[in-house]
């Protein structure tokens, strides 16, 4: 009888014994919506890997077209984060925590959620091509997306104006390496979640960020949308003011882009948000997808298998 019982137990998947897979929250990227055909197809593929998993797709507006627009124009990231925090807290299936996956800017926004709210808490955070150290160029638009193109022109023309910083989503993570003072004084989102301002440094952000079990940072090897692409790994272009780096720039002239990797930046060396702490306990995973921005192929599958559903 004991042998028969043991045989039966071994034949049952571990998650079946422990209950349902851990829930998953996904935040789409710029130009997409929470229930677009591509997103729905992705959810179906995830459910093939983790049978019975609950997936919540973050939305700013339940209307698909309005939700897509909210990701680029007429939006304030800080306001949207507050809305999303209330949204996640209202979903019963998420009350015990969840894994989180963000595509492009959605990954950066989920990191901000962890730092500012994290209730319910995130277990593993996975970001694909996310601009954690900002971008030095406004992301490009689809060829015939004229609304996006108009917003992009407006943002590039006056990226640090009060209007752009309150209304153009991508302007709120624009980090100009040639004009860091303007970025620090005008941007009311990215400098704060990166704890770049000594007078506004928030220890809660660090404490909640380091509560993550794993931080998985995915970069697209040929990414031309996120500039520089290394922002996905907390890398950034060298800036002229060398007080913001842990080593002196190689040249006073920006004839070509020099990328400073995560471990050589003060956000890491002085551990402003907890990157160093996470790294020293081997909680940061660096991985890549071959190809252009959000051309994921099958590179996401081993990540979903390992870091979602309760396996790690």
Q: Residue 27 half-sphere exposure, CB side, CA atoms within 13 Å? A: 30
DSSP H stretches of helix in the chain: 2-10, 14-18, 37-49, 64-70, 77-89, 105-116, 146-157, 162-167, 180-186, 190-193, 203-209, 266-269, 275-280, 300-307
HEC letters along 102-139: EECHHHHHHHHHHHHCCCCCEEEEEEECCCCCCECCCC
DSSP conformation letters of 206-236: HHHHTT-SEEEEEEETT--SSSSGGGGGT-E
How many Cβ atoms are within 10 Å of 309's Cβ, its own excluded? 22
Of the candidates 150, 147, 168, 146, the one whose C-alpha atom is nearest the C-alpha of residue 159 is 168
- Dig out the tokens for 36 from the structure: 């677009």
Sign of CA dihedral 106, 52, 19, 309: negative
State the catalytic residues. Answer: 104, 223, 293
User: What is d(CA 19, CA 310) in angstroms, rounded to the nearest whole number?
Assistant: 10
How many Cβ atoms are within 10 Å of 90's Cβ, its own excluded? 9
**Contact by Cβ (8 Å): 270, 279:** no
**Contact by Cβ (8 Å): 309, 21:** yes
């Amino acid at each position: 009888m004991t042998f028969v019982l043991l045989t039966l137990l071994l034949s049952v998947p571990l998650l079946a014994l422990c209950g349902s897979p851990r829930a998953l929250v996904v935040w789409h990227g710029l130009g997409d919506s929470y229930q677009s055909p591509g997103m729905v197809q992705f959810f179906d593929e995830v459910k093939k890997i983790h049978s019975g998993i609950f997936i919540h797709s973050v939305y700013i507006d339940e209307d698909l077209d309005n939700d897509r627009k909210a990701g680029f124009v007429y939006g304030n990231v800080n306001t949207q984060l507050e809305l999303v925090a209330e949204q996640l807290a209202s979903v019963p299936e998420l009350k015990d925590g969840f894994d989180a996956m963000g595509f492009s800017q959605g990954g950066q926004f989920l990191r901000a959620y962890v730092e500012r709210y994290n209730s319910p808490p995130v277990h593993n955070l996975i970001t694909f091509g996310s601009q954690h150290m900002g971008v030095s160029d406004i992301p490009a638009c689809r060829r015939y997306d004229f609304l996006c193109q108009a917003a992009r022109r407006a943002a590039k023309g006056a990226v640090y104006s009060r209007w752009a910083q309150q209304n153009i989503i991508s302007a709120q993570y624009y980090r100009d390496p040639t004009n860091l003072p303007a970025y620090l004084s005008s941007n009311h989102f990215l400098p704060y979640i990166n704890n770049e301002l000594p007078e506004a440094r928030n220890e809660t952000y660090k404490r909640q960020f380091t509560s993550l079990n794993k931080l998985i940072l995915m970069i697209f090897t040929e990414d031309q949308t996120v500039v520089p692409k290394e922002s996905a790994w907390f890398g950034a272009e060298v800036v002229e003011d060398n007080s913001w780096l842990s080593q002196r720039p190689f040249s006073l002239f920006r004839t070509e882009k020099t990328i400073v990797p995560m471990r050589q930046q003060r956000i890491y060396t002085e551990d402003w948000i907890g990157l160093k702490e996470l790294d020293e306990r081997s909680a940061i995973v660096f991985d890549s997808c071959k190809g252009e921005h959000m051309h994921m192929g099958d590179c996401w599958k081993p990540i979903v298998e390992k870091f979602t559903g309760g396996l790690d």
